[in-house]
Chains A and B, each alone.
Chain A
Amino acid sequence: MNERGEDWFTTIYHTHYGQIVNYGRRRRLDGDGAAELAQEVFIVAWRRRTDVPAHSLPWLYGVARRLLANSRRAAPLPVPVPDLGHLVDPPSLDAGADVGLVEVRAALGGLSEPDQEILRLVGWEELTVSEAAVVLGCTRATAAVRLHRARRRLVAALARTRS
């Protein structure tokens, strides 16, 4: 059996399609745009199937990130308005600290795009630092430094909103 044949592709396609769609949706693509992004990602995966690592999800996210970046360079997104929320269910920042959803989103949205991206990868895509490094095309050490700085800036931004 060909290890990188149709069966292999079908497995990763069905396993990870939804995650790639959600990656696009979280980065302000609508449903159609996110579905098209996912299709393009898996087309790339098929064409480069010999390059796809066994643990394929971070690699697929990395392809999605680059396709999205190329697309946005070609034509900037109009009016980036995410579907945002209401003032309920404050999540816990740390012991004894409550932060509203709007505050979290405002703090996150106020960070630089690289800061937002690594926080989203860890917080929303639930990747490890090593996996995020694959997506970002950097070393684990670099990703760890970026995460450290990003979360420090997030905490500072949240502290400002609460002061």
Chain B
Amino acid sequence: MLGTHQIRTLIGAADPIDPAAPPPRLSAVDLIARAEATEPAAPIRRAPRRLVLVAGAAAVVAAGAVTVLHPFTASTGHGPGVLGPPGGGLVLVPIAYQIDQDPPAAGEHLRAMAAHLADAPSDKHTGRYAYHHVKTWGDPLMSDDGGRYVLGFAGEEERWQLADGSGRSRVTTLPPEFPDVQSRDHWLRQIPSWPSAVPHEQALPPYESSPPLPTDRAGLAALLSVRYGGGAVAKQVTTVYQEHVVPTRTRALILDILADVPGFRWRGQVTDRAGRPGVAITYEDPAHGQQSLLVFDARTGVLLAHEIVTVKPRRVSTYLLLLATDRTDN
């Protein structure tokens, strides 16, 4: 087993920064004055996008792929994307929307859904374990030194947890997927074959369990970070679905809360990366040049997927698929 020193040796080599930091911009005296003069600090400014975006011809290729590729290649088991040569990696393509241009506000559609939700399979089960099966990609992404060629490893996690947070999980790291053809070709030249996926099982200790979901609208809205806007809400909705088996009433409440968040647009019917039909809403975040996407099961209101897409050029930045949620005794 690695000791602390060996951890430093190993991780230290992967430190992504040059440790030489610039000097402070303010003197200690100035900072004291600022501390004395201001109320508690304003939020930290967000880092600008660091992905080196595809330019010129490459962007044309990426944009072309969006329009000509089949939205879902069921035979491959992958969602929107195109496979490279034999053994090659998947290049991700943004999900196609039924309503691509001038989408209407989502509020009315979400309220209509919320009013007529059906039970999900998990609503009929009462097992002591909460079971979640999730697939993710894109957090983190990695790039070459120049930041041009990007890859991300997909991963799947199955998790069985008791109310105190204890339980077990099975994590499988999957082969890399790529946001564009150039990145795939670059990395396949560098590393022609990738290790096979091997599930890793682990016990989960009884700490850091999630508190119960609020049952009132105000409490749930606060948990969903409504005051921080649609991008934060989309992420929080996803977190809630990752950590809880959400009952019908709460699913309806979530949709109703989303309906009141300014900026969500209705995208109509879509097919997610697991090949499931759903309905989608998006939230534009021009400050960061990105769009958040949520896909719901139209009948049950269960969240199926969350994605973040860069706008120019249009590429997938992260995706998360909630493949299964249930209660079980096993």
Contacts and interface: CB of A to CB of B under 8 A. Distances in A.
Partners in one complex: yes
Interface of A: 6, 9-10, 13-14, 17-19, 21-22, 25-26, 28-33, 35-40, 42-44, 46-47, 67-68, 70-71, 73-87, 89, 91-94, 99, 101-102, 104-106, 108-110, 114, 119-120, 122-124, 126, 128-129, 142, 145, 147-149, 151-157, 160-163
Given A6-B32, A109-B140, A163-B198, A102 B191 contact: yes
A157 B202 CA distance: 12
B190 A87 contact: yes
A157 B197 CA distance: 10
B321 interface: no
Given A91-B10, A106-B153, A108-B14, 20 more contacts: A18-B20, A21-B22, A22-B19, A28-B50, A33-B44, A67-B44, A73-B228, A75-B228, A78-B48, A79-B141, A79-B288, A79-B308, A81-B147, A81-B150, A84-B143, A91-B14, A92-B6, A151-B1, A153-B200, A160-B200
B87 interface: no
Contacts of B211: none
B306 to A, nearest CB: 11
Interface of A is mostly: helix
Given A85-B144, A93-B10, A39 B153 contact: no
Contacts of A25: 16-17, 21
B32 A81 contact: no
Q: Which 3 A-B pairs have CB atoms at the shortest separation, nearest pair first? A: A123-B11, A18-B21, A91-B13
B49 interface: yes
B85 interface: no
9 contacts: A25-B16, A26-B17, A28-B47, A33-B44, A67-B41, A87-B191, A109-B153, A155-B2, A160-B197
B35 A74 contact: no
A43 B34 contact: yes
Contacts of B228: 73-75
B144 A78 contact: no
Interface stretch (B55-63, B68-76, B229-237, B263-271): B229-237
